[in-house]
Chain A
């Protein structure tokens, strides 16, 4: 892997540049010791994404009855026995 000339860059920046200019694929860079965050910082990987809490920003709050109805309806649709599940001493997984 070619290193860039030493100059105004700190050790970390230099390492990120080495990663960026490397001809290795992601798997090789990781298995050779780079961590995910370094590959993200070097622009090789994209770590940005929307997350679950953003997905539900527009989902309305339900009152108790609505919530119970929703869960009951889904349990029926999916064939789940929730009573048996949450009363089990050791939940199976």
Chain B
């Protein structure tokens, strides 16, 4: 673990935080990084600092920091990393005498490497390992060569060239293969523990020692099974990594997987030379080499997940957006609107969504990614709805709802995604994604999406990899891409890129990919580009023929229109220019320039990445272009007038030299087509003049259509051509000194003829709060999708009860000292959250002054004022380290009567004595508004000649407010504090602390989040409920005898003081379903949702006025009532009670019970898993295979039913077609019955979760 202190680079100040009155440095903690390994390998220790680059930071700041022991060594986008001069020298130059190699080669490219690849040095991971002496094989992945030396296998025999070709097939830009042992050493202790725990649970082995003693044979078997599972986990995992060897310069990055090739060749790793960055030629030279202390970390694993379809993609396929995406978005919004105002339904929806996410993430199998979600935990456990109408739960649900509305409006559609891996066995028109059906025709892409040409059209050929590379096929979470298509179409490499997949068409024949191969056999020796185009064009024809009823081998799947539209837009005559990765230009290190100056210069050039601006320009122009086509006919003339007038004004600017419109020579010199931008802008600008002369309405209409189409085409050419190239340049800006083409960007910006409300305001905090919707002002499919959501959005206030209604969930069981300590923890936490809230609200104001340092001036009489917006662009004023009395300073403040705004109304002039002994006076900055108000400067300095002078003040430079109050870091600090505090409470004391916290309104929320496991346990039963008012006429049931009753949570109305009042109550449910009111719920009793029907023991007190009621279980209510609907929904999705309701036929996934006992049985997925665990323990391989096959069948049926291909079914899911024999069923039942129910595992709250 390395702690890196945070500093402000302008003032050199360390950033601080205050917790419980103690001020301490702020730092970032990283673990499993190369810098830790490098320091350790060389026996060094050093302090590191990190600081952010912002407007106004310059080389003068570097010159101030260096003498203070903070030398810039490497950077990571906006952040620079600093250390002492000696460590900096060793890192950048090394020390031959001491045997220390620099981290990157110490050549002229050193500053470039420490900026372009600086992020790799402190890149953290979930695990790391080091091999003392490692043999490595480096392969030239582009040249498909391993150097000149012969490769021998472990028996000393040369590996035949034909077999080596199969190895080369696996190696692409970003690939590394490692030995099984190395991969296993990266399985974390938590993963090992979880696997073992699960295997033991499935085998029915208790964690209790006393019981273990009786189960030794089972334990041995389970231990072996657990080890097998750990090995399997290591075997199928593909993970992002960083690697290096301290003896050689250079860092290795990419994705790695285990491969038997390593064992065969007797090496620890096989590395593509393209993975190696910043070396001196030794590490990346192809061939075998032996290195010391080979270090590797594991960062994040590939997984089959989902990817939201954003506006860049939607804008390229407007027809699919309109007809395929928007209806789904609308349906989601309708679903959201239907559940938004009902707490029970909203809770169910939340749990369902989270479970769906978990299924996608495969979290049951992935231990490292499990995240604590207190709301999910408590809602899932809350089978009675006891927390329904609890303000703390409502607040979180409200936040979820807001996010959900926003996500639905802006994205709405998710597609499957997978991490890309290289495989040369695939043809250019193929892909291999195991999570998608074999034979599906797909379009895949990666973000950012420059234009439609970056969508690759392919058929999913899983069979070819299964047949030819079983090892590759066994990997999880990845999809294999053919190298040419990955690089030249999808702009994808293999260092962690993930692609989204539109599944357009499914096959009706099992060997469609093979048939396609045969159909395209004639092109197999052509250029990859020609092969790819042959595939695309064949798929296009097949789609057309299918639509005409002449092609029966494919049918529509999830997104046929999207794939069809991509196929069409990539036809040679329509295809936008190809945008490939741009040539990189290394950051320069000029002669005579110091290394640190060059590094700083490169940092400055890369800190403000222009990708956001360029992408925004593209999305806005795309939207405006679509509006010109899609706008209603009656609006088009007005639109043309607006566009034409705007272009005319831009021509005026061009005439004045304020705007450059690229001419064809300029474009062609840069490799673009002759777009005729000047003619086209002028043509549209002229449209208003020409329109005025057309009187015939139909001619006018035709003219308007024609000119809008022309303007639309102009915008799309800018977006798909030069702007797309700028985007690709922008995303690589960290690695290239070549910036975006500013003139093209300025031209693209100039073409937006009106504000684009959606793009300008989609991040506003108030969206989907208090009735405010996302603003749009364009008439095109993306905006229409947003508007459809807006129409359905409703501002809801979830019903709430007072907190006291929930208090008795946890009776008081704490000692006074526990209560005191619990209160102190909650109070501190609340203070931290409040501080974060305040900072967040202030920062939302986007005050420029908050991004810059300020100067606190204190006069000799102790009065403070703050100077902000400091005016020192060259960094020469003596203010940047000011701390204490400044005897030679005079500060004069006057009113500037010509000031354009309040923030510059009171300038402060600083007079000081220079190093040469001269007096110098210049503008220092402006008095902050708070100080103006505090010292009544508006009144005191009304006259221009009045001045406030402060002589010899005390001055304190302060870091920017935004850096001192980073809202996210404040949040993280609050969370860490909560976690550390709660972790310090012993297991035995936790219930007492929960009780103490729950008894106070202010700390109930804290208790809910930090003790969600105990809260969940408590929610499995309902505390005793007190009913009152049984002596009144409202009691229709009368003085019933003690006993079990069917009772329903209800309400009744009564009149008092001429008012009708409604009171929550409990009614007895009679045999015919009718209700008879019994009594009112006491304020402090749990209020279950209205309509909840329960079996309860009720006893009226001797007074006859009150009754005690103990809820025994939920009862499914008749479906006709509203209450029943809520309750049955609750039952339907709460797995914890599925077993109790299954007998009553209420479970969603239960099949109808046949009249006669079945001869076969449909096991649930859960049963199959339990059965598998037993087979695992017994090492019954045939049985394991059989169960796996059943599991795959279940998955396939579930995928078909839900339309989510490859999704994992819920545990209770079963299907009538997936059966086992009666005998097998009995076997399952006997074994499961013999297995004790596993103890519920307490959710661990890790110190720092790693992803």
Residues of A within 8 A of B (CB): 1-12, 14, 16-18, 20-21, 23-28, 30-37, 39-41, 44-53, 55-56, 59-62, 64, 67-68, 70-71, 73-75, 77-78, 80, 82, 85-86, 91-93
Contact = CB atoms under 8 A, between A and B. Distances in A.
20 contacts: A5-B976, A5-B979, A11-B403, A21-B28, A23-B123, A26-B77, A27-B735, A30-B447, A31-B492, A32-B496, A46-B609, A47-B612, A47-B616, A49-B749, A52-B752, A55-B659, A56-B652, A59-B649, A67-B648, A78-B663
B680 A91 contact: yes
B76 A71 contact: no
Contact of B495 (A4, A28, A80): A28
A78 B732 CA distance: 34
B400 interface: yes
B36 interface: no
A5 B981 CA distance: 13
B655 A53 contact: no
Nearest to A25: B734
Contacts of B1247: 5
Interface of B: 28-31, 76-78, 119-120, 122-124, 299-300, 305, 307-308, 310-312, 371-374, 396, 399-400, 403, 407, 410, 417, 446-448, 492-493, 495-498, 500, 608-613, 615-617, 619-620, 645-646, 648-655, 658-659, 663, 673-676, 678-680, 682-683, 685-686, 688-690, 692, 710, 713-714, 717, 731-735, 749-756, 759, 762-763, 833, 968, 971-972, 974-976, 978-979, 1009, 1245, 1247-1251
Given A28-B495, A70-B652, A35 B609 contact: no
Given A27-B732, A30-B448, A92 B676 contact: yes
Contacts of B372: 5-6
B417 A33 contact: yes
Contact of A51 (B374, B615, B749, B979): B749
B273 to A, nearest CB: 19
B30 A78 contact: no
A8 B124 contact: no
Contact of A52 (B446, B688, B753): B753
B1009 A7 contact: yes
A36 B610 CA distance: 11
B613 A8 contact: no
A23 B253 CA distance: 13
Contacts of A40: 612, 763
B1249 A33 contact: no
Contact of B371 (A3, A12, A31, A64): A3
A5 B655 contact: no
B710 A91 contact: yes
A8 B648 contact: no
Given A9-B971, A36-B611, A68-B686, 13 more contacts: A2-B31, A6-B371, A6-B975, A32-B497, A36-B448, A36-B619, A41-B763, A52-B750, A56-B649, A62-B648, A67-B686, A71-B682, A74-B651
B613 A46 contact: yes
Contacts of A93: 673, 675-676, 680, 713-714, 717
Contacts of B751: 52
Contacts of B752: 51-53
Nearest to A56: B649
A52 B645 CA distance: 12
Contact of A7 (B300, B713, B978, B1248): B978
B239 to A, nearest CB: 12
Given A23-B124, A52-B646, A74 B655 contact: yes
A35 B753 contact: no
A2 B1250 CA distance: 5
Contacts of A14: 371
Contact of B310 (A21, A37, A80): A37
A23 B658 CA distance: 39
Contacts of A85: 676, 679-680, 682-683
B683 A3 contact: no
Contacts of A73: 655
The list of the 6 closest CB pairs from A to B, nearest first, reads A45-B612, A7-B975, A56-B649, A47-B612, A6-B372, A31-B497
A2 B1251 contact: yes
A26 to B, nearest CB: 5
Contact of A74 (B77, B654, B710): B654
Contacts of B312: 35-36
A46 to B, nearest CB: 5
Contacts of A52: 646, 650, 749-753
Contacts of B714: 93
Contact of A5 (B124, B299, B755, B1249): B1249
Q: Which one of B645, B710, B749 has the greatest number of beta carbons of chain A within 10 Å?
A: B749
